[in-house]
Amino acid sequence: MLETLISFSIATLALAISPGPDNIYVLTQSLANGAKSGIATTAGLISGCIVHTTLLAFGISAIITASEEIFYGIKVLGACYLLYLAYRVYKSDEHISLSTDAPKKSYSQLFKIGVIMNLVNPKVMIFFLAFFPGFLWNEDGNTVLQFYILGITFMVISFITFSSIALAAGSISKLLLNWKSMGMVLKWLQVLVFVGIAAFILIP
């Protein structure tokens, strides 16, 4: 269990620090309106993950109980989706664009925006479906509990990472804009993480 959680935590941290729509939005809000705005947005994004974790826990747990073959098929499809994401990142532009024209919003508005951004994005649920099942450490045990443990771990690490980005917004933005190789480094980090997770899921 501990070894699996450590692997899951490392993968989650690598994903959290890689540039994506969520952490870039947190960064731009922090640059435009202060660190507290970024943290409020982060709280909303993470709160939305509770819903995805619940749907995943009860839905996939039922499938595991019904058929091991179907569950393995889900893991294979999940690995393929992660490899597809790796390919998309590989083909993407290395340039990181930051826009600080974010309008001023209240903390409650930013929290709601974060929740909505998370819940209405079907890719989040697909990603959870691809990412989480491969890190179950006992398929014969209480899988609902295991999914919740993974979900809470994911949310805690993501919240700490995103909040750190918000607090260090000025320094991070300067680093992203001034270090020409940063985009390439973060791009390949994402590729390696997606491929690594896919391999972890597929290898017995």
Tokens standing for residue 118: 């998370």
Rounded alpha-carbon distances, angstroms, from residue 69 to 75, 83, 99, 199, 201: 10, 21, 46, 19, 15
- Higher model confidence: residue 142 or residue 94? 142
User: Nearest to residue 160, comparing CAs of 13, 1, 11, 54?
Assistant: 13
User: Nearest to residue 15, comparing CAs of 171, 162, 200, 139?
Assistant: 162
pTM for this one?
A: 0.78
Q: How many CB atoms lie within 10 A of CB 62?
A: 11
Question: Which residue segment(s) compose the domain that 168 sits in?
Answer: 2-202
**Per-residue b or e along 70-88, where b marks 16 or more CB atoms closer than 10 Å to that residue's CB:** ebeebbeebbebbbebbee
- Higher model confidence: residue 183 or residue 158? 158
Residue 39: predicted pLDDT:
95
- Higher model confidence: residue 65 or residue 91? 91
Q: What SS3 state is found at 122?
A: helix
- Higher model confidence: residue 140 or residue 49? 49
Does residue 98 surpass a pLDDT of 70?
no
User: Nearest to residue 14, comparing CAs of 73, 82, 79?
Assistant: 82
Does residue 204 surpass a pLDDT of 70?
no
User: Nearest to residue 50, comparing CAs of 109, 126, 110, 128?
Assistant: 128
User: Nearest to residue 52, comparing CAs of 121, 125, 120?
Assistant: 125
Rounded alpha-carbon distances, angstroms, from residue 130 to 31, 78, 87, 160, 172: 32, 4, 15, 23, 30
Number of domains in the chain: 1
